[in-house]
Structure 1
Amino acid sequence: MPSTVRSRPICSKSAARSSPPPRMVRRPSTASSPPRRAALTAILMDIMMPVLDGLGAARAIRAIDRADAGTIPILAVSANAFADDIAASRAAGMNDHLSKPLDFDRVAAVIAQYVRQEA
C-alpha cells in the first residue's frame, strides 16, 4: 500500500474501519506473492516501491498460478496521475489508478465498485 514507513500507520488506521481489515505488506516481493489460502478483496499497489515497482508487482501477480490472479482488482496508488501514468498502470494489469493524496472515501467507493462487479 503506502511507499513510506510514515504513511503506513495513517493508511492502516484509516483502512482498519473496513471489513475485512487490510493486509499490509512491506516488501514488493511479498506483494507479488499474495498468500495462497487468503481470499483477497482488492489490492492497493503503490507504484513507487523499492526493488520491484508496483507495475512489476502487478504483472507478477497476474502471472502467478492462482485462480483469482487474473481477476483480483489491483488498484494503482501514485502521486503521478498523468494520462501516460494511468495507461502504464492499466498496461501492467491494474484495474484502476488512484491519485495521492488519497481520499479514503473515494478509495472505498472504487473498491466497492470492483467488488460489486465480481459478485
Structure 2
Amino acid sequence: MDASTLHKTAADSAEELPGALLEHPFGPDWEVFKVRGKVFMLLTEVPGRPVVILKADPGEAHALREQYSQITPGYHMNKKHWITLESGEGVDKELVTELVTDSYLLVVAHPPKAEQPVDPHTYGTGTRAAG
C-alpha cells in the first residue's frame, strides 16, 4: 500500500465501525477517531510521512513490530499499548482494516457492557450473543 492510500483506507475502515466519531482536538493535522469518548485511532504525518496510530494488545504489538518494519511503537503515545503504522511492503487493506478493528475492539471492551455499541467478543465474527 502506498502512502497516499494509507490514511484513506484507515479512515474508511474506522467510519464503518458502530459509534466511531472523527474529531480534530489537536488541530487540522490530526484526525482523531473515538468511540464512547475514547481514542482508538489517530491519523497524522510524521515529517511528511502519513502514519496511523492505533491501540494494540501489548503482546500483539510486540509480534507486529517483529513481523513488519512499517510497525513501530506508538508515536507520542504509550509505547506498550500503541503502535504506529506506515505504508510499505506487506501493508495492505486487510492488515489496515484488521488493525483498526482490533484497536476499536480494545477500546469498546472497557466501558460498562450496557454502554458498549457492540459486543467486542462477537463483533465481526458472524455470531450473536444470546440476549
Q: Which has the higher helix share?
A: 1
Query: Does 1 or 2 have the higher relative contact order (CA < 8 Å, sep 6+)?
Result: 2
Given the two structures, how large is their TM-score scaled by the length of structure 1?
0.39
Compare CA radii of gyration and give the structure with the larger one.
2
Given the two structures, how large is their TM-score scaled by the length of structure 2?
0.36
Q: Which has the higher strand share?
A: 2
